[in-house]
Structure 1
Amino acid sequence: MSYEVSNQPLDGSIDPAIHMDIDRSFLDSCMYLLYFLYLFTWITQQLDYEAKHGAPAPLTDIQRKLLDKLQAALPPPTPILPEPELGDANWVGLLLEYRAARQRVPSNVPGGDFKEQPGPVVYGVQKWHCQVRIDEHSEPFPGPDGGLFPDGTLPSFARKKDAKKYAAKCAVEWLGENGYMPRLNVNSVKSPPVPEQPPTPQPSPARKKQKTVSSPPQNPQQSSPSPQSSEDPESLLPKGIASNFNSDEVSAIFEAERLCTRLGFPGLPRFKITESKMLGFFNGYPDLGALASKLPPGVGHVKDIYGRKAVREKIAEELLEPLNKLATPSVQADKQSRTDSLPVREVELQVPA
């Protein structure tokens, strides 16, 4: 048996060489444990305050911001179920068409009364619920008669538009099941049927190809689909103008670029994006060139935004108000110059004889 003589000094101090050999992960674990104890102690103090005073414990602005970031980074308390399948059918369009044919709904809510509400925040992304009410049923959709998860909770969607589609889908399926409208084959229906187009017999594959080439469409509106046919059929705005988060709304990026062009600075703003300390979060600011001298300093600087697309949209949103204020005088001046340039018609007074 052999023994190794320790080179640790007799005075109890630790040699630096030995100190470097300590497992780094052990030190990190100790540090995290210390953070946890600090946080646990603070939470206990907050709860004691609320129990003693019967009111929420006060929070500083810094504490509130840190808690918001912590909530965004933590997983949800209960697992979020995947979004239900929507299929290819234009559910909102089908419901609108059914309503227009029957006129059984008040004019202020054509197609149904859609109500949107915020859902859970999952890793910094706000999800959405949507329900629709129709005259034929007292309960909304999705609701007790269709569309809820097995545990009775409302499905949530990252896009408001998808939440609205799902609500319309649940209503249309219930109407079909209860005889109010024909049952639909969801695997084949992509948009409401066109009643003017007469049915044609099913051709063979070779004949179908020949007919497609030689036979012109009956009218320009029934021509072959454009290359953008894969986009959402309900989208009212073309890609590049619509927001990445709601295709019914104009993108803040598009609005900011339009205002910069009106002010004589085309090609702006340019976006500078850097990674935040938290995984998946980003910081950013706009490169405004010579236009920066006309705007408040620091405008458009954002921090800790989840996702690259979201940080660009957030920067543009911060720019809209000052850009609009800057563009308003130039728009009024253009209107005045056009008014001044109009020819003045001279009116001769008719003197009675």
Structure 2
Amino acid sequence: MAAPSGQVDWARLRAYIATKEAYEQQHGLPAPLSDLEREAIMTLIPQPRPPVQESMSDSTNWLGLLNQYAQVKYLTTRNITFTFESVNLPKAKGFDVAWRCLCTIPGTEASFPCPGYGIEPGETDARLFMKKQDAKQHAAKWACDYLYKNNLMPAGGSFSRPPPLASPSTTLSKRPASPPSLLPTAPAVPSTVQSNAAQPAPLAKKRQATSPASSGNCNGNSSENSTATTASPAPNGREEDKSTAVVQVNALARALGVPLPRYVLTEHREMTDFWSVRVDFHDSPLFPPNLGSVHEVYTKKAAKEKSAELVKVWMEGIRFQRDQARREILQREKMAREVEVRVS
């Protein structure tokens, strides 16, 4: 007998439940449900939602502190990894997506958060956040907490200075590819000559500093992203230090008759004052691809200087090849004249 209009037919509902239970007892599997059935059941009996934090409770940039630590410790941030997990939170219609994140740093056996660092007794997983970036900040916070408590990071995460640059006499950890041979007889650069080649070629004449409107490279670009062809006065009134790699590269470029490089700097989206550099040689075919490229270097000045160091080493090799070829030509001419004298 059908239930009167406006009343729930409980008998049919109990029969429906009994049918689904019988299926599960017989097959040992969850009873199949259509999307409409699942949505109706979720509306009547919503599943418990795990606790979710809407945002971080503090405004500290933990990710920035952790990245600074990685740059000083490892000279890159690539050693630190973040693993994300998305969790679907059911609701009346559809679901929300929450995020948890785990941070792994070199030299540790655990990922953070972990028991004792962000996971309290009785908890099994890291906390969920509605925003992916907040989950990443939460993971970075507990990684920093571990570093603080084990005296691996300065208190408060203060870093007084960036990692020092390699000096010109120090062998760089990553050298650019060997320069293409301009002449067939050009040998490799010996170590004794390489050390002497570190000094820049003398400038023919010191130019006067010009205004930003008149100074710039050969393409008319401003000196913001590239080194100007004229010496610009430093903020303290003195001329720019000629021992820097950027100035030495410009001197080498003039001596070799090649375009002055332009340094294109890009700041990291998440890490404050971390820079990547790409060097533009104005489409000259002489230079190998990606020469001078560096990534995630702390401070704009240090990134540009590190890039220039790589370009300088390559240019010194080209200068040595040309000098060696010139010496060989002069030697052959001398020997030819001596032969002519003997014959005559």
TM bucket, shorter chain: 0.3 to 0.5
Larger proportion of helix: 1
Higher-Rg structure is 2
| TM-score, reference length from structure 1 | 0.38
Highest relative contact order (Cα 8 Å, sep 6+), 1 or 2?
2
